[in-house]
Structure 1
Amino acid sequence: MPFLMLSILADVIATAALKSSEGFTRLIPTLIVMVGYGLGFYFLSLSLKVMPVGTAYAVASGLGTALIVLLGALFLKEPLTASKLFSILLIVGGVVGLNLVDKHS
């Protein structure tokens, strides 16, 4: 699970840098995007040694999505509506459910 968390963190950093890259026209944010996604896939591949690919990918994409929505609201002044918050709760609930199912299988 630690590799999966590192994968999520790297993906979130890369995704957050996408806006700053301005269509890959700014060097430093573009490098952050490339390195971040590279590390994200690398750590995801390591996590697949101990968990099923479907669960790992669902957890990574779900938690990554939830974190990006929250970062967008906190730092990019994107609106955080009640429906977005409810949707994040659904995502987190699904991630928890997948982990529980895998542990009992």
Structure 2
Amino acid sequence: MNAIILLAFAIICEVFGSTMLKKSEGFKKFLPSIGVVIGMGLAFYFLSLAIRTLPIGTVYAIWAGAGTALTTLVGVVVFKDHFNLKKGIGLAFIICGVIALKISTGQAH
């Protein structure tokens, strides 16, 4: 499977796990707590597959940056977290950084 697709799965699973972490209320709710374990477990599994063919620094930066941006958006949409200009600028910097790292690898993935 394409390493970029594996990385995308890792990001989606990490965002799911983080969302379930919020829903678990400090691991007090059973099903969301199971969601944390499954989401994070799958995230690290897919991440480990992606770093077999892509540079680890780039993969981790994309995973962390995209995961942060998507988790922030989930917080705003699902949990009604406050969104302001500073948060928007921060997310823009993360996205620009991820793009720069991807370009710097020189790979056509």
Relative to the length of structure 2, the TM-score reads 0.93
1:96 and 1:50 mapped to 2: Cα distance? Answer: 18
Q: Share of identical aligned residues, percent? A: 37
Paired position in structure 2 for 1:103: 106
User: After the TM superposition, which parts of structure 1 deviate over 4 Å for at least 4 consecutive aligned residues?
Assistant: none
Listed as ranges, the gaps of 5+ residues in structure 1 are none
Listed as ranges, the gaps of 5+ residues in structure 2 are none
Of 51, 75, 95, 1:92 maps to: 95
Q: How many residues align?
A: 104
What's the Cα RMSD here? 0.8
2:39 and 2:82 mapped to 1: Cα distance? Answer: 25
Paired position in structure 2 for 1:14: 17
- Report the 3-state secondary structure (helix = DSSP H, G, I; strand = E; otherwise coil) of the residue aligned with 2:106: helix
Matched, 1:56 2:71: no
Of 47, 50, 54, 1:47 maps to: 50
- Report the 3-state secondary structure (helix = DSSP H, G, I; strand = E; otherwise coil) of the residue aligned with 1:39: helix
- Report the 3-state secondary structure (helix = DSSP H, G, I; strand = E; otherwise coil) of the residue aligned with 1:103: coil
2:52 and 2:27 mapped to 1: Cα distance? Answer: 33
Relative to the length of structure 1, the TM-score reads 0.96
Identify the structure with the greater helix proportion: 1
- Matched to 1:5, the amino acid is A
